[in-house]
A and B are shown apart, each in its own frame.
Chain A
């Protein structure tokens, strides 16, 4: 759903922009004096700017008010915690089974180069991700809604077998 919404919003704004450019293209064949055209169109500009600024402000507040990335330090222990380490070209997880509907904490790091830790469901839809870096541990928290076998794909180019760097995680039905 999130993916569809992202596409829809993008396509909507691109379509509006396309309509403006196509209109201007076809309306350009008749020449009018520049001054009134300029005054008219520049008259709209402050309104457009105000609208875009307000929209940007609203989206920024709406998407950042609850920060979308988990706190990295000073957090309480999470029951379902997995240490994830990326190697060229495989993942090592200290646990490969978790329960649905409970938060899972992934402590992601790399033993060699940069990797990207992407969590995909059985339909190959990505649910979330985080970078795996040498010398750093990135904390990713995610709650699985549906049980199943999830794929863990590498999303940061890491060498010749990058596309083969895949592991599995089993999400069990929620505890009673």
Chain B
């Protein structure tokens, strides 16, 4: 099979403009969601006063917005690199973007005009039982917004599936499984981006479908409460399966940037091997089996499911994460790499992804979960691998594709704001984890006096993160019009 890259499709104006839309919108939404997050930490630190209803609206927009924009931003990475190997349809990608915007407008309307505030988890039957705070229409608007965003992603994955099938005939070959089970000699040129994209389209299609089921059922329940009822435990399973798979798929889409860009900086190739393919193959199952670790405190769950939740959480770390992170470290070690903002962000992302998984795995131990579940420990670990894992991948990608030959040297500013972002993240994450250790509940609009000092330190960290992100945002936006977005060509 000829696995050489396709002729450079990214040179078309339409595809460049589409990517511009994705990058600029994602960065802006990301920044606004960060402001919402920082506002919550300021409130918990009693540095500003925000009424509980507004706080929980911010909580809802921050959670849903961050997960959604992580997905959108990461999909642009997958799209950008996968197009080198398969022929993706730009119009479909544009439709995904338009549906995303419609969904976002519906969600914002539901929250800020309809007072909807049931968190991103929208745990059934909370959307229908607000005690008069929001209407059923507002709830339907929020749930419908999520549904429309999901439809956009499904269309995108359908197009990815079509394109991959066209080139590789089946998903088995695209994932490289013929080299594991088919007796074929390993082709080292088989692109990691294709392996990762195939895994993502499988898991996230299923994840989004599960999400669609619970979203539709919740909407019907709003208007036909007697005719459409849902088993609350089933609802929880569907919600967490959807949420867990979606956010993990976002990381898996974004990590393609590391596979594609780190070799450029180290001048060393990142080639697939059998362990790499095995890792992605097992992760396909692991990432879907691991979600019961969100339900460890639901004792009505079958015991075997909880045991799977714990054990798969331990095993989930091995395949992609250790193989990828270990591969990245090997690639960088003694490579003579030129450290600049992009390469640092790429390397940092590997650290943050793995390091954030450590408190996550520990929390997935049932006996630990008994004292850590729904404390600040939980946002501690996911902010770890999102702030220092996923976002550095997204920033690195955006900075890379917007590079121009004539750009100004901003080395000192890069140093200052990279440090602001890095150390601010560490402070913010550290305070989350320490608050978790102190049993501080998550998702509380007001904190007891004992908990306030830690939230005040967190507010400092959040401010530093916001400043760092603002710098990345300005830097990228200032040059995105000049950039051809074909810097890799």
Contact = CB atoms under 8 A, between A and B. Distances in A.
Contacts of B332: 24-25, 28
B326 A45 contact: yes
Given A38-B330, A59-B365, A70 B299 contact: yes
B367 A63 contact: yes
B371 interface: yes
Interface in A85-134: 88, 112-114, 116, 118, 120, 124-131, 133-134
Given A68-B370, A129-B374, A135-B231, A60 B333 contact: no
B300 A56 contact: no
Given A17-B355, A129-B297, A113 B334 contact: no
A157 B166 CA distance: 46
Given A6-B437, A131-B299, A28 B335 contact: yes
Interface string B127-147: 001110100000000000000
Interface stretch (A76-84, A159-167, A168-176): A159-167
Interface string A140-155: 1000000000000111
Contacts of A37: 330, 333-335
Given A129-B374, A160-B131, A14 B355 contact: yes
Contact of A60 (B231, B233, B300, B311): B311
A164 to B, nearest CB: 8
Contacts of B121: 157
Contacts of B359: 10, 14
Interface residues of A, number: 75
Contact of A124 (B233, B315, B339, B448): B448
A41 to B, nearest CB: 5
B441 A153 contact: yes
B53 interface: yes
A78 to B, nearest CB: 15
B125 A25 contact: no
B306 A6 contact: no
A133 B443 contact: no
Chain B contact surface mostly = helix
Given A68-B366, A157-B119, A133 B232 contact: yes
B297 A131 contact: yes
Contact of B437 (A7, A52, A113, A130): A7
Contact of B366 (A14, A20, A53, A63): A63
A52 B303 CA distance: 25
Given A6-B437, A136-B232, A114 B123 contact: yes
Contacts of A118: 374, 439, 441
Given A131-B298, A161-B52, A163-B444, A52 B362 contact: no
Contact of A88 (B131, B337, B355, B374): B131
A3 B366 contact: no
A155 B441 contact: yes
A175 B125 CA distance: 42
Given A17-B358, A159-B126, A163-B444, A136 B334 contact: no
A141 B133 CA distance: 35
Contact of B334 (A21, A27, A129): A27
Contacts of A20: 329
Contact of A6 (B335, B368, B373, B445): B368
A51 B285 CA distance: 23
Contacts of A53: 318
Contacts of B347: 21, 25
Interface in A1-58: 2-4, 6-7, 9-10, 13-14, 17-18, 20-21, 24-25, 27-32, 34, 37-38, 41-42, 45, 48-49, 52-53, 56
A17 B326 contact: no
A89 B236 CA distance: 20
Nearest to B350: A21
A3 B437 contact: yes
Contacts of A162: 56, 443-445
Nearest to B235: A114
Given A6-B362, A18-B355, A37-B334, A160 B437 contact: no
Interface string B111-124: 00000011101010
Contact of B371 (A63, A116, A127, A138): A127
Contacts of B298: 131, 133, 136, 138
A140 B371 contact: no
Nearest to B268: A34
A13 B358 contact: yes
B329 A159 contact: no
14 contacts: A3-B438, A3-B439, A37-B330, A63-B366, A63-B367, A69-B306, A113-B129, A114-B126, A114-B232, A116-B297, A116-B374, A136-B300, A160-B56, A161-B52
Interface of A: 2-4, 6-7, 9-10, 13-14, 17-18, 20-21, 24-25, 27-32, 34, 37-38, 41-42, 45, 48-49, 52-53, 56, 59-60, 63-64, 67-70, 72, 88, 112-114, 116, 118, 120, 124-131, 133-140, 153-163
Interface of B: 52-53, 56, 59, 117-119, 121, 123, 125-126, 129-131, 133, 231-233, 236, 268, 297-300, 303, 306-307, 310-311, 314-315, 318, 322, 326, 329-330, 332-337, 339, 347, 350-351, 354-355, 358-359, 362, 365-368, 370-375, 377, 433-434, 437-439, 441, 443-446, 448, 450-451
Given A29-B337, A135-B233, A160-B133, 9 more contacts: A14-B355, A21-B329, A31-B335, A32-B334, A60-B311, A113-B126, A127-B371, A131-B298, A157-B59
